[in-house]
Amino acid sequence: MLHVNAQRLLADMAALAEIGATPEGGVSRPALSPADLAGRDWFRQQVEAAGLTFRQDGAGNVSAILPAADPTAWTLLCGSHLDSVPDGGRFDGALGTLAALEALRTIREARLTLPVHLEAIAFTDEEGELVGLLGSQAVAGDLTPEILAHPRGGRDKLLAGLDRAGLSETSLLGARRDPDSLLAFVEMHIEQGTRLLDAGLDLGVVTAIVGIRSFWLTFTGQAAHAGTTPLARRKDALWGAAEFIGRARDLVAEQFDPGVVNCGILHAAPGAFNIVPGRVRLALEFRHGSEATLDTMQSALLALAENVAASFRLALNIEEASRAIAAPLGERVIAALEAAADHLDLGHTRLLSFAGHDTQVMSRIVPAAMAFVPSVGGLSHNPAEFTPDDDVIHAADVLLHTLLILAEAAR
Amino acid sequence: MLHVNAQRLLADMAALAEIGATPEGGVSRPALSPADLAGRDWFRQQVEAAGLTFRQDGAGNVSAILPAADPTAWTLLCGSHLDSVPDGGRFDGALGTLAALEALRTIREARLTLPVHLEAIAFTDEEGELVGLLGSQAVAGDLTPEILAHPRGGRDKLLAGLDRAGLSETSLLGARRDPDSLLAFVEMHIEQGTRLLDAGLDLGVVTAIVGIRSFWLTFTGQAAHAGTTPLARRKDALWGAAEFIGRARDLVAEQFDPGVVNCGILHAAPGAFNIVPGRVRLALEFRHGSEATLDTMQSALLALAENVAASFRLALNIEEASRAIAAPLGERVIAALEAAADHLDLGHTRLLSFAGHDTQVMSRIVPAAMAFVPSVGGLSHNPAEFTPDDDVIHAADVLLHTLLILAEAAR
């Protein structure tokens, strides 16, 4: 059975982890920072040393290409990203990028003749130091001047990064690729949770990237003297918010598993030891893999908020904050990932990705899916994130066989 | 039966309300502000016009005195304060001060010969613009250089106020009076709640001013990705704080009525839609009239916090923030207030004061008590605070007869 070169892959992981290395053992390679650019240079060297074709597009996405004999063939894309959050870990993004590079090297060395171009791509700014999912949005044609006008990290940082990388807003907006030229996209990644370790499994095949909906809930009662106002007469906005927090958790746990809910921000006003809170603003966010279920969750959670507010004689204002659509992934790619795992005799399960990835953007234009390997403690965006060598190798082997399965099916 | 001059009292209330009047119909006379000083000047004019003796002590407390024939007689003190919170109401403090002035005028006009000096006093800075309960603490000998070194309103404001009033820190610290020279202290005040109106009563005789204890509770769990961390694995500090808020309310309502509890400040960190709160700081305050009950409440509430924290796998840190001792009031003065109310055929009840007053300070050195008249809607520290004329007159009549009863008993 064909396997990747495990030692070479692990050596690459170690070498890349030196670039932007932090004292805590992680890496800090925010998108288009000098460290990120150094990472891309290093990637280019590996690509060229392997006899693969290097390509950089107008969005700064860097690729290794193993061309098919027929220049008009489809391109089968795989990869992830080389950037990290500030003070992030060695595996998030790096694993998927280097597994893709290694899979291509292995196929080239095995002199397999495939009916598709293979391309291992590292997307620019997945993590959001500048825009978030920037490179994949550019490729998918989702990028607009409006998005670039209000980048999450601020205009100055975006422009400085583009300048450092020799890119421009014009080049970014020109990086769109023809969906008809692409066969599929596959991404390998560390799990940002512990479902796999908890279940003792090797691989999680992602069937959907969750949709995320968020709301500001404002409970308004009446600020009052915390001594002279009897409990029974209070309209304490914090009582309402507190009751909602607990009941929302129980509601989602009981009725919407594996969906999740979070109340991550709470502002209570006026905010004094001796004043009953008259107003509480609460940030509500919930996630699920199905838009239909998200609709039901939303109705249930907002009705709960209304009921709780009424029971404490509070007014409630609901304001939508943001919405990310759930991305169901490509069944054909999912099936290929599962077949590859079976072929390699790896234990696997289907699960949802509760975090965003370039795969969700690519899935809008091409059949796309991704798979997770275990991450100890479920850590991510953390210098201590760690995936054992065996799981790193599994990731590359699964990708290798998934590419072969998808390529063969394209004959 | 002897009654105060109702028209004169109401005219005084109206005249004083002009000083520092706000567009919303309230008054703004923060301690030792120009408006407060103007209020004192006006008070002095009324005192002298009534043929009473005016006195100002080193703490800026201003008094009307109706001397007894024997200069060595005890002094029977009554009064309240002339300062207000910024943008406060017309009744808080003013009612008790002018009821006291009116009672003395009435007794003087009736040419009653009493065995005690009568003194109607307005204490400096009851509300805390500078220090809080400043004048009464000075009289009681509770004031220390340390208190003046760290005034609640800041050193600059304190020094500017003292300068404006021709006072000094030295004069403040010298304003202590010999407790043996004092017979009792009585204060009339608007209720800062609605217990009287709810019960359809005219007068609330305060048996104790509640003690107030406050704590910072810090719940610490683990900040985590709000997507990838399953609900069952979260250590959400806000879950603990929210559960505590509801259960603390129920505990106090069920077991410690008429005590009250408040969670007035909540800081959740790190504070993002998509991050599980890892740390919550919660301000807990509770009040009761009995120190023994406060001890029990404290044990129960802190044990509840420990239990809740443990049930959510959170660490809990408890930090005492402040403590004001409950002040049981003088039974003899309470009985005199009740006898006066009976004499006037007013409906009355005993209750606790859930807010601080000069009476609690005075009660440390002399038998002291206070009584409330109704305040519509329980408003206080609010430009809309309002007490009907009849209740204003009741306050002065009750004080008048309470003074007579206490004075007669001193023969």
B210: pLDDT strictly greater than 90: yes
Determine whether the interchain pair A228/B273 forms a contact, defined as Cβ–Cβ distance below 8 Å.
no
Per DSSP bridges, beta strands B53-56 and A348-353 are unpaired
pLDDT: is A359 or B381 the higher one? A359
Transcribe B170-197 into DSSP letters. HHHHT----GGGEEEEEEEEE-SSSHHH
Contacts of A239 (CB under 8 A, 6+ apart): A221, A312, B245, B246, B249
A193, A192, A205, A209: which is closest to A291 by C-alpha?
A209
- What is the average pLDDT across A20-49? 97
Q: How confident is the model at residue B381 (pLDDT cuts 50, 70, 90)?
A: confident
Distance from CA of B324 to the nearest CA of A (A): 13
Per DSSP bridges, beta strands A279-288 and A117-123 are unpaired
Coil, strand or helix: which one is A122? strand
B322: pLDDT strictly greater than 90: no
- What is the average pLDDT across A292-320? 98
From first CA to last CA, the distance across chain A in angstroms is: 21
**Tokens 């009662």 identify what position?**
A221
Residues of B within 8 A of A283 (CB-CB) are 272-273
Coil, strand or helix: which one is A336? helix
How confident is the prediction for chain A on average, in pLDDT? 96
What is the identity of the amino acid at A383?
A: P
Measure the CA–CA gap between A74 and B363, rounded to whole angstroms: 91
Orientation angle between helical segments B331-343 and B389-409, nearest 10 degrees = 120
Determine whether the interchain pair B260/A212 forms a contact, defined as Cβ–Cβ distance below 8 Å.
no
Determine whether the interchain pair B246/A241 forms a contact, defined as Cβ–Cβ distance below 8 Å.
no
Question: Do A5 and A105 form a contact (C-beta atoms < 8 A)?
Answer: yes
Residue A152 contacts B where some CB pair is shorter than 8 Å = no
Transcribe B268-312 into DSSP letters. EES-BTTEE--EEEEEEEEEES-HHHHHHHHHHHHHHHHHHHHHT
A220-275 per-position pLDDT tens digit: 999 988 998 999 999 999 999 999 999 999 999 999 999 999 999 999 999 989 88
Residue A384 contacts B where some CB pair is shorter than 8 Å = no
- What is the average pLDDT across B208-237? 94
Radius of gyration of chain A (CA): 24
Residue B197 contacts A where some CB pair is shorter than 8 Å = no
**Which of B50-76 are b and which e, b meaning 16 or more Cβ less than 10 Å from the residue's Cβ?**
bebeeebbbbbbbbbbbebeeeebbbb
Measure the CA–CA gap between A318 and A298, rounded to whole angstroms: 11
Question: Do A127 and A357 form a contact (C-beta atoms < 8 A)?
Answer: no
Task: Enter the tokens of residue B159.
Answer: 């020094």
Question: Do B208 and B391 form a contact (C-beta atoms < 8 A)?
Answer: no
Task: Enter the tokens of residue B86.
Answer: 């910024």
- What is the average pLDDT across B356-367? 96
Residue A241 contacts B where some CB pair is shorter than 8 Å = yes
Measure the CA–CA gap between A103 and A402, rounded to whole angstroms: 10
Determine whether the interchain pair B274/A285 forms a contact, defined as Cβ–Cβ distance below 8 Å.
yes
B230-264 per-position pLDDT tens digit: 999 999 999 999 999 999 999 999 999 999 999 99
A76: pLDDT strictly greater than 90: yes
Contacts of A158 (CB under 8 A, 6+ apart): A130, A131, A148, A151
Helices (H) and strands (E) in chain B, counts: 13, 15
Q: pTM value?
A: 0.83
What is the identity of the amino acid at A304?
A: L
CA distances from B75 to B67, B78, B82 (A): 8, 10, 21
Q: How confident is the model at residue A153 (pLDDT cuts 50, 70, 90)?
A: confident
Burial of A260 (0-12, 13-18, 19+ CB in 10 A): buried
Measure the CA–CA gap between A160 and B266, rounded to whole angstroms: 39
Helices (H) and strands (E) in chain A, counts: 13, 15
The residues that bridge with A284 in the sheet, in sequence order, are A215, A263
Residues of B within 8 A of A273 (CB-CB) are 214, 262, 264-265, 283, 285, 321-322
pLDDT at B75: 98
Measure the CA–CA gap between A51 and A89, rounded to whole angstroms: 29
Closest B-chain CA to A275: B264
B-proximal residues of A, 328-357, CB under 8 Å: 353-355
pLDDT at A152: 86
This model of the complex carries an ipTM of 0.84
- What is the average pLDDT across B271-290? 94
The residues that bridge with A288 in the sheet, in sequence order, are A211
Q: What is the percentage of chain A residues whose pLDDT exceeds 90?
A: 91
Determine whether the interchain pair A354/B225 forms a contact, defined as Cβ–Cβ distance below 8 Å.
yes
B134-193 per-position pLDDT tens digit: 999 999 999 999 999 989 889 999 999 999 999 999 999 999 999 999 999 999 999 988
